[in-house]
Chain A
Amino acid sequence: MLDNIYLLIQAPLLNVQILLDGLFVGSIFALAAYGLALVWGVMNVKNLAQGDFVIMGGYTAWLLSTWGIHPIFGLPIAMVLMFGFGWVVYVVIIRRVIDKDMFTSLLATFGLALVIQQLLNLAFGPEVQVAESHFAINSFFDGLVTVANIKFISLLLAAGLAAMVVGFMKFSRMGQAIRATAQDARAAKVMGIDTDRIYAFTFSLNAAICGAAGALISMIWVIQPFFGIGHSIRSFVVVTAAGLGNLPGVIIAGLSLGGAELYSGFVFGAELQQFSVVALLVIVLAVRQVQQRRHRQAVK
């Protein structure tokens, strides 16, 4: 461990490499976390299947790439398919748990997460998969820092998608209705908004965002049926650290999570990378709790 820290000090360019990689994966974490915050804020549903939606999107892009469709074109297809899937999930499950207590939705989506990861495992096997993009890899500083072109493209795509979603929420008629429902569902209903359709659309939009995030993950990182829970926890870390309805916070938290995760993976070794994500969750919750306790409040 100390050797690794020493290495980082000796070769400062290694830091650049890790930070850049953290930035690229962090942007995708932020995207998935934004979807989670959307569903959480509008419908008060804590979606523990968030990460599994991401992995589903990843497998869609990967499957299409094995059929000869480039994963970048697979991304919109994954979004459309996941949108439809989200709608089905809403109608079958989420609609029935939405007005029950919060643990119900958490547990129902946990059951959904189990079903998705096991079905993916049965369909594609437990191997780690990558959707090959066949793009060039650039080297900087005499080959000490290498960045694949696809990572730049994925960062741009993630930023573009996030901008599109934010613009949609702000300016479109549907986005306005979603925001109105989030503020006061009852009042929105009185104003003639079909809240049930808004909920269905919000949940499906989240699934589509996850699908896009998954397609990006499959291009620049790896996917595997059981990686979903890790992505769910990452989304929860980001949302818990940033708070709801705080878009700059989500972006900053997502990027820092990416950096922190890759740094700890480098320093402590790869087998503790997963641990560091979960440990971050516990730390974030503990810090939030101490902050709230000062005001004699609980983290709700």
Chain B
Amino acid sequence: MSIAQQKILLYAVILVLGIGGPLIFPNYTFQISVLWVMILFALTWDILGGQMGYNSLGNIFFFGVGMYTCALVQVGLYTDVSVYTSATGGANLRLTPEEYFIGLGLGAFAGAIVASIFAVIFGWVVFGLRGPYFAIGTLGFTLAAGELVGAWEWVGGGGGIALPVYPGPPDERSLLFNFLCFILAVIAFLTVKWMYAGQFGLAANAIRDDEEKAEAMGIHTLRYKTVGWTIAAFFLGISGAIFGNMVGFIEPLEVAFPTVTFGIFMVVMCLLGGKGTLWGPVVGAALFHIFKEVTWTYMLGWQWVALGALIIILVVFFQQGVMGWLQEKWPSRFGITVDENVVAKKSSEAAQ
């Protein structure tokens, strides 16, 4: 089989898994949906983290923004938000299917737009920061956002919001959200693939390798960084909207702005799969999610210790990730030509 045929086969398998997965394993529909969301997390994190070298610890901020915006639109279209949220997390709002889907569609769209606007505004502030300052600054405003939303009574404060009830049977609901997550992940994948293939990918890698030189070569670095971040925020906003509706109940610290869970998972998944590659985040997210779901419940409180240890081990011993390791092992399979002279020179430098 040629490489092109193998690629087609790979895409076909993913398509079959994506559509057939929840039909074959109906008990795992929710887990499969979360897997698609995880893949989307890793893909969007890698736009900045892997390709541009801007390692954000706060991308989950846009997820929470999308989630809350969507919830507010969904509720606000049909009732008064403050009355709704003050009744202990919201009285159950019964909607007709038509009302529900209009609310969901508008909410997801608004979530994506608001998240993108936030990305532009925050990008203007944080893109002057480099390396650790960028990581800590983004971590800082995500933590701040969670605390702030938690103290904001109008949106339910720390108690959160219960989203409108889905007008239909629960099986249909979980299938619908599963396919929404799948479609979103596929669109995100195709978008980043298209971006990396063109001028954006080249500029992004130039910024990662040496930002000053890239700027000197006439690349408008701030513009590229903002565009990359805004696209990530757009997808994260929609995924937040869908995820919030899938869970049915949102609150600021654990669901909407989960800095130490999802926010860190996306970094870990990219590292595991190999950051700066197209398939790395996908592979890493799949491996991490399956590993996590299989082992988590057996660890009885030790799972967070295991997560921390996993981060340390990944960072210290396995920085290139699965895809990076494969590329090193079989460079020709990835269309990379290796200059033996450069390799020899590098290894002799390392020996010194």
* Chain A residues packing against B (C-beta within 8 Å): 46, 48, 93, 96-97, 100-104, 106-108, 110-116, 118-119, 122, 229, 233, 236, 240, 269, 271-272, 274-275, 278-279, 281-282, 285-286, 289-290, 292-293, 298-300
> Once the chains are docked, how many angstroms separate the CA of A118 from the CA of B151?
26
Say whether B141 contacts A278, CB under 8 Å. Answer: yes
B316 interface residue (CB < 8 Å to A): yes
Supply 4 further A-B pairs (C-beta < 8 A) apart from A96-B317, A106-B135: A104-B319, A114-B311, A118-B302, A118-B308
Total residues of chain B contacting the partner, CB 8 A: 41
Which B residues are CB-close (under 8 A) to A286? Answer: 125
Query: Is B147 in contact with A289, judged by CB distance below 8 angstroms?
Result: no
- Which residues of A are found within 8 Å of B140, using beta-carbon distances? 233, 278, 281-282, 285
- A282 B316 Cβ-Cβ under 8 A: no
Q: Is the pair A285, B305 in contact by a Cβ cutoff of 8 Å?
A: no
Kindly state whether residue B304 has any CB partner on chain A within 8 Å: yes
CB contact between A108 and one of B132, B143, B312 (< 8 Å): that residue: B312
The smallest beta-carbon distance between A295 and chain B, in angstroms, is 11
A272-B147, A281-B137 in contact; A111/B309 too (CB < 8 A)?
Answer: yes
* B267 to chain A: closest residue by CB: A107
Secondary structure dominating the interface of A: helix
CA distance A300 to B212 in the complex (A): 13
Q: Are B129 and A299 in contact (CB under 8 A)?
A: yes
Cβ contacts A to B, 17 pairs, < 8 Å:
A103-B55, A107-B311, A108-B315, A114-B305, A114-B307, A114-B311, A118-B302, A119-B305, A271-B158, A272-B148, A275-B144, A275-B148, A281-B140, A285-B133, A298-B129, A298-B211, A299-B128
A236 and chain B: residue at smallest CB distance: B136
Distance, CA A233 to CA B143, complexed state (A):
10
Q: Is the CB of B311 within 8 A of A298?
A: no
| B 105-144 to A, binary, CB cutoff 8 A, 1 in contact else 0 | 0000000000000000000011011111101110011011
Tell me the bound Cα distance from A101 to B208 in angstroms.
12
Contact call A272/B151, Cβ cutoff below 8 A: yes
User: When A93-B316, A103-B131, A278-B143 are in contact, do A115 and B137 touch as well, CB less than 8 Å?
Assistant: no
CA distance A103 to B129 in the complex (A): 13
